[in-house]
Amino acid sequence: MSGSEIVEFKLRDWAVSDLENLILQANNPRIAANLTDQFPYPYTRESGEWFIGFANSHQPRRIFAIEINGKASGSIGVFPQDDIHRLNAEMGYWLAETWWGKGIMTKAIRQMVEYGFSTFAIDRIFARPFGSNKASQRVLEKAGFKLEAVFKQNLIKNGIVTDELYYSIRRADTGIPWPKPHD
């Protein structure tokens, strides 16, 4: 499949029936290399069971499966912060290697930005890719995120020290109105 072909996907809740495919797709050192140590490698059955339970533990939802061809092939989430950071939410994501370079993640991030601003009383969504993760930086930029800060030699992953980048998008940049307060 060439990168120019249109690949359809949807964001949906995680299901227990996704467990086997989650383990298959997530058990990849190239995916884990660009995520925090909370995303384990090897990715075990216990890791998957815990994750699906956690993904479904919040209302409104914060974490969604990225479904391609009827199978969960990645994940994306937006995580509202608290206390003095309560106007912010962090975004995290990963995609099965099979689907890298197809434009899926840029579109998924745009959908998640719309969901985040429509659902939560936040003014900024940020993501923190590794300085070495050029692909993640590109998808964020294509989705309208701007580089805010570079923290030099701030992270260590698999014994390698790397920069941490902060990208963000503001509600004002999207035109999405504030959600109505819940009664």
- Which of 110, 100, 121 is closest to 144 using CA atoms? 110
Q: What is the mean pLDDT of the chain?
A: 94
How many CB atoms within 10 Å of residue 20? Answer: 12
pLDDT at 180: 82
CA distance 78 to 119: 10
Q: Which domains does the chain have, with CATH numbers?
A: 10-174 (3.40.630.30)
Q: CA–CA separation, 153 vs 112, rounded Å? A: 29
pLDDT, tens only, 132-172: 999 999 999 999 999 999 999 999 999 999 999 999 999 99
Q: Is 107 helix (H, G, I), strand (E, B) or coil?
A: helix
pLDDT at 150: 98
Residue type, 72: A
pLDDT of residue 57: 97
Cα(79)–Cα(21) distance, integer angstroms: 24
Look at residue 83 in the predicted model and tell me its pLDDT.
97
Q: How far is CA 30 from the centre of its chain?
A: 16
Helices assigned H by DSSP within the chain: 19-26, 29-32, 45-55, 104-119, 134-142, 171-174
Pairing of strands 63-68, 10-12: antiparallel
pLDDT at 183 over 70: no
Global confidence as pTM: 0.93
> What per-residue confidence (pLDDT) applies to 113?
98
Q: What is the pLDDT of residue 22?
A: 97
pLDDT of residue 2: 46
Residue 64 has pLDDT above 60, yes or no: yes
Per the CB < 8 A criterion, the answer to whether 65 and 104 are in contact is no
